[in-house]
Amino acid sequence: MPESKHRRRRGRPVSRGQRVAAVPITRPRRQKANKLYVAASVIIAVLVIGGFAVGGINFQRPSPAGSSSGEYVEGVGVQQELMPTARHVEPRTVDYNTSPPTSGDHWTGPARCGFYEEGLPDEQIVHNLEHGHIVVSYNLLRVEEVDQLKDAFNSVGMSAMWGVARSYDKIPSGTVALAAWGVFDTMQGVDKDRIETFFETYSDALGPEKELTGTSRPC
């Protein structure tokens, strides 16, 4: 039985000229788009590498002056105005707004927790403050007083993970200073209860590290 005309029409091949005309010619446009993409990628890579070469791209959000990531508790220390930034600036030194400092730019590596009979740089311990640690700075002339402070420091259960104590000659003789991020307290001599209260109130409570990540960093 002969095929219908309708079926023959459907099966009729398309001429070579028609096939060529039906395919859009987009290769030049694609090549141009690819070149633009590659150029943009190279520019971005250069900016990123250049930023690290100059001193490191800092992904930390600046700490706004006059605010804190945690809550200041009335009567436990004195709240301090925060410095405008909290960047890594090693090996530069920083001109802080308090002695000892309670915020600001700092070095890359924090100090290990513990009691030090020698001094530690301000720029290093500020990194501890950023992590939610408590820094005890003391200028005690008598060995008996240093031993008394060491006993008080070690008796605080949180000091092993959240505390740094260091000798510090930028405060008056006989003074012990307690610092958390944005909070400062000073005392004459060693007040064990006061030190313990400060630790219980502000350990793992203040600092931009917790604001950015939701958690602090113990030692």
Q: Rounded CA gap, 45 and 177, in Å?
A: 46
3-state helix/strand/coil string of 156-171: CCCHHHHEEEEECCCC
> Domain coordinates of the chain in residue numbers?
1-57, 78-213
Coil, strand or helix at 106: strand
Burial of 139 (C-beta count, 10 Å sphere; 0-12/13-18/19+): middle
Q: pTM for this structure? A: 0.69
Q: Rounded CA gap, 89 and 105, in Å?
A: 6
| Lookup: tokens for 132 | 């939610």
Whether residue 97 is predicted with pLDDT greater than 80 in this model: the reply is yes
Coil, strand or helix at 186: strand
Q: Are the beta carbons of 87 and 113 closer than 8 angstroms?
A: no
Q: Rounded CA gap, 144 and 166, in Å?
A: 16
Banded pLDDT at 65 (limits 50, 70, 90): very low
Of 66-70, 157-161, 188-192, which gets the smallest average pLDDT?
A: 66-70
Whether residue 209 is predicted with pLDDT greater than 50 in this model: the reply is yes
Between 119 and 35, the more confident residue is 119
Q: Rounded CA gap, 109 and 216, in Å?
A: 15
**Fold for the domain defined by 78-213:** Glutaredoxin (3.40.30)
Residue 173 neighbours by CB under 8 Å, 6+ apart? 139, 140, 141
pLDDT on residue 24? 45
**For range 116-136, the mean pLDDT:** 97
Between 30 and 196, the more confident residue is 196
Task: List C-alpha distances in Å: 88 to 75, 92, 93, 199.
Answer: 32, 9, 11, 26
Residue 182 neighbours by CB under 8 Å, 6+ apart? 67, 68, 72, 79, 80, 82, 102, 103, 206
Q: For the beta carbon of residue 20, count every other beta carbon within 10 angstroms.
A: 9
Coil, strand or helix at 151: helix
- Side-chain-facing half-sphere of 181: CA atoms under 13 Å: 33
- What pLDDT digit, counting tens, does each position of 165-184 carry? 999 999 999 999 999 999 99
- What pLDDT digit, counting tens, does each position of 143-157 carry? 999 999 999 999 998
pLDDT on residue 43? 52
